[in-house]
Amino acid sequence: MGELLAIAGHHDEALGETGRARADLERVHGPEHVVVAMALLSEGQLLVRMGRAREAVPLERRALTVFERAYGEANFETARCLINLGDALREAGEHAEAVAIARRGEAAMEALVGPDSPFAGYGLTGTGRALLDAGQPAEAIAPLARALALYEAGGVDPVQRAATTFALARARWASRSDRAGAPALARAAREVFVAAGPGAARELAQVDAWLASLP
């Protein structure tokens, strides 16, 4: 239910449902169970989407601890949690740690799925966005471009693909590597966010703000 509410843009209701579900799981399974860690990660991701990344970070750290104890780092859930924790840290302004955690997530995911899997793109996007927001746009271009190529070949969700496209546009603009083409990339991403409806309202607002800031 929480996920459906989030897709519809009802984030406060979704957060309440997610928190209640997590509490129920903790009562049944105890706080160190992997199903609780999955719920913690979902709650953290939702908080990030609501602009409350600092609240998300401790939840996702806790989830990571559970996954690492249960599975080690060579596991899909651990890799996914690392990628999401890196994203939460980036949104919270903890840029140095965000880059380090994102790189761990990228390496763990690629080791599991191989370098040509679309799933590897999630880790590459995490690293690219962390580098971009850490003030290293030139270094962000390669992982973002590679992620986008994997997404386009693998039929990944259009909103995820558009988010990577927008990050690549920002990196190319900030690095001055392609200031002529960057706005067109961002506008292409914007079309996808508009078509996605309320679930992509945050991404749409971000791209509109960025386009409006250009000279």
Counting every residue written for the chain, the total comes to 215
CATH superfamily of 2-154: Tetratricopeptide repeat domain (1.25.40.10)
Q: Quote the pTM value.
A: 0.90
Q: Which two tokens stand for residue 153?
A: 């070949």
Q: For residues 63 and 71, give the distance between their C-alpha atoms in angstroms, rounded to a whole number.
A: 12
Of 97, 145, 137, 100, the closest CA to residue 121 belongs to 145
Tens-place pLDDT, residues 146-191: 999 999 898 889 999 999 999 999 999 999 999 999 999 999 999 9
pLDDT digits (tens, 9 = 90+) for 124-133: 999 999 999 9
